A and B are shown apart, each in its own frame.
Chain A
């Protein structure tokens, strides 16, 4: 008996018990759909985190004041120390000292209350004092007006570039460029609006569309009253030179600060890559957990197949006996039942995959981020469904194959 023949017989058997086959298929279907969707959700979340972090600027290193490897009690905590200066940033931007650093932007930042010049709208936002390099390092641009330039920094001009969200909060209808805003009582002229990155603050900690950029000189003189930096942002010349840029910055800052042992450093350098890998690994763990739960439901579906196949064998003892009497070898009977089980698995897998693909169109609306469906994962899931049908069909099938024809025929 050929495979094609067996397949036909198997399909017929599945068709002739529609309700029972349908219920079995349902179990597999739910399992497969759950696996594809959870993996899709996980991958979607990972992609989301990656793109959010990429929007911060590529090839980015952040130098923070203070040490993260604090062992001595006297050392100040990371981010609160005042060990970084503008001259550190200037030195890092020097091409001969650090050839792999494309640009370095000194940053002072704090949260300030803003208002438009008539004090009708107020808004609290992050105020960032920096130089023209920030635009390059952060990989941002202005959609309107211009960015802070070198002259602004030299002349301590009171000008501000607004993030798109900040602009719309303060100026609902009129064009913000040319308007005056008050930052902690100091008037600034709006000279530009930053492009929108549509960022989600939950993944990166701060909203990239809600900030005010002013010249660093103006910021330290008029607002902050201190020349120490919150951070220095460094962009390497390419992603492959990120680690050499890291080493150059580390060595240069140690030298500038007169520190001989690296463990005594009064600053720390972190890369966005480490942030990416942390966020991704969290997502991966979650995905694994969800996929594990989905996998269990798939296992339950498989047990369902076995159950139904055993019922099917018991119910069709006469048919099996007859087929054997008419010349069916045990292998032919075994094959027939295996095919039947894998047809159940295949149908469940295919319908489940279709369901999951529909789910990926519907779900993003509910969870707020895209659900990725990978074609190889879907094909794999269907293959797994067939394999489940086969594995859980082996026992019922060999029971059927072992039936003695006379015992089977006698069953009346």
Chain B
């Protein structure tokens, strides 16, 4: 399996005036293509910072980061935007859909920034909505959809650009348990279809659905606690 993500001794230091806080203190790991990985840790562990760097929303202070073989550690804002557009599909806790647009228009946004032709965009958006089981909700606005359906639209938006990885940040955090199970099932299904999936969460149950769990604490990766191995095959 080819490596999709490789981080070597990545650090992140936030400076506010004279105060500097080390959020990541040297993180090294890699993720292969087609893997399903959870990144778990309590709040303040550096897990959000790690997610931002993984998602190319922020750049590391030190160390190196390769995404699909490309060194993205030192890219500028414009290049990072291109990398995000082409390689990363985001799924957020709060869905982050644009309320004024119907589902398919929300899904096509990444393709708009990729410069794709309008007709092709609409076709792909509707196709992707079908893939997440929302073929009858194409013209609905987010306000007319349930939480679970909104998250499905968001997943369709993450998928539509055929990214290298799907990065889901607490994807079930705003959902009831039934919808949450439903969404985790959909994500697992996408993974089984070959998609590389990274789920960031503080929820042990959600994390345990993954093949591998990366634990973050105080800005460092820590050994997987016993029991995680057992949970690997669940989901």
B81 contacts A327, CB within 8 Å? yes
B171 interface hit (Cβ, 8 Å): no
A325 contacts B57, CB within 8 Å? yes
Name, among A5, A12, A16, A327, the residue most crowded by chain B CB atoms within 10 Å (CB to CB).
A327
Given the known interface contacts A327-B86, A328-B81, A406-B52, the answer about A322 and B96 at a Cβ–Cβ threshold of 8 Å is: yes
A1 interface hit (Cβ, 8 Å): yes
B57 contacts A406, CB within 8 Å? yes
Kindly identify, within residues 1 to 59 of chain A, every residue whose CB is under 8 Å from any CB belonging to chain B: 1-2, 5, 12, 16
Contact with B along A392-412 (1 / 0, CB 8 A): 000000000000111001001
Kindly identify, within residues 58 to 90 of chain B, every residue whose CB is under 8 Å from any CB belonging to chain A: 58, 77-78, 81-82, 84-86, 90
A156 interface hit (Cβ, 8 Å): no
Please, which residues of chain B bring their CB within 8 A of the CB of A329? 77-78, 81-82, 113
Query: What's the Cα separation between A326 and B87 when bound, in Å?
Result: 10
Name, among B78, B85, B101, B114, the residue most crowded by chain A CB atoms within 10 Å (CB to CB).
B85
| Chain B nearest Cβ from A331, distance in angstroms | 8
B180 interface hit (Cβ, 8 Å): no
Interface of A is mostly: helix
Query: What's the Cα separation between A16 and B78 when bound, in Å?
Result: 29
| Chain B nearest Cβ from A240, distance in angstroms | 63
Please, which residues of chain A bring their CB within 8 A of the CB of B112? 1, 5
Please, which residues of chain B bring their CB within 8 A of the CB of A324? 81, 84
A121 interface hit (Cβ, 8 Å): no
Query: What's the Cα separation between A331 and B78 when bound, in Å?
Result: 9
A330 interface hit (Cβ, 8 Å): yes
Given the known interface contacts A327-B81, A327-B82, the answer about A1 and B115 at a Cβ–Cβ threshold of 8 Å is: yes
Please, which residues of chain B bring their CB within 8 A of the CB of A328? 81, 113
Kindly identify, within residues 283 to 328 of chain A, every residue whose CB is under 8 Å from any CB belonging to chain B: 318-319, 322-328
A319 contacts B52, CB within 8 Å? no
Pick from B86, B94, B115: contact of A412, CB under 8 Å: B94
| Chain A nearest Cβ from B127, distance in angstroms | 18
Interface of B is mostly: helix
CB-nearest residue of chain B relative to A331?
Answer: B78
The total of Cβ contacts below 8 Å across the A-B interface reads 59
B157 interface hit (Cβ, 8 Å): yes
Q: How many interface residues does B have (CB within 8 Å)? A: 27
B100 contacts A16, CB within 8 Å? yes
Given the known interface contacts A5-B112, A327-B113, the answer about A322 and B98 at a Cβ–Cβ threshold of 8 Å is: yes
Pick from A319, A327, A412: contact of B85, CB under 8 Å: A327
Please, which residues of chain A bring their CB within 8 A of the CB of B157? 326
A405 contacts B57, CB within 8 Å? yes
A81 interface hit (Cβ, 8 Å): no
Please, which residues of chain B bring their CB within 8 A of the CB of A91? none
B138 interface hit (Cβ, 8 Å): no
Contact with A along B97-115 (1 / 0, CB 8 A): 0101100000001101111
Please, which residues of chain B bring their CB within 8 A of the CB of A16? 100
Pick from B55, B101, B115: contact of A2, CB under 8 Å: B115
A327 contacts B96, CB within 8 Å? no
B36 interface hit (Cβ, 8 Å): no
| Chain A nearest Cβ from B118, distance in angstroms | 8
Query: What's the Cα separation between A412 and B113 when bound, in Å?
Result: 24
Please, which residues of chain B bring their CB within 8 A of the CB of A327? 81-82, 84-86, 110, 113-114, 161
| Chain B nearest Cβ from A249, distance in angstroms | 77
Please, which residues of chain B bring their CB within 8 A of the CB of A404? 57-58
A142 interface hit (Cβ, 8 Å): no
Kindly identify, within residues 315 to 370 of chain A, every residue whose CB is under 8 Å from any CB belonging to chain B: 318-319, 322-332
CB-nearest residue of chain A relative to B53?
Answer: A406
Given the known interface contacts A318-B96, A405-B57, A409-B96, the answer about A326 and B77 at a Cβ–Cβ threshold of 8 Å is: no
Please, which residues of chain B bring their CB within 8 A of the CB of A318? 96
Query: What's the Cα separation between A328 and B92 when bound, in Å?
Result: 17
Query: What's the Cα separation between A2 and B121 when bound, in Å?
Result: 14
Query: What's the Cα separation between A80 and B58 when bound, in Å?
Result: 91
A330 contacts B78, CB within 8 Å? yes
CB-nearest residue of chain A relative to B81?
Answer: A329
Pick from A326, A330, A409: contact of B109, CB under 8 Å: A326
| Chain A nearest Cβ from B109, distance in angstroms | 5
B92 contacts A12, CB within 8 Å? no
Besides A1-B112, A328-B81, 9 other CB < 8 A contacts? A1-B113, A12-B100, A319-B98, A325-B55, A327-B84, A329-B113, A330-B81, A332-B113, A409-B92
> What are 7 A-B residue pairs whose CB atoms fall within 8 Å in the complex?
A5-B118, A324-B81, A326-B113, A326-B157, A329-B77, A329-B78, A409-B57
The interface of chain A, by Cβ under 8 A from chain B, is 1-2, 5, 12, 16, 318-319, 322-332, 404-406, 409, 412
- Please provide the 8 A-B residue pairs with the shortest distance between their CB atoms, ordered closest to farther: A327-B85, A327-B113, A329-B81, A16-B100, A326-B110, A322-B96, A406-B57, A405-B57
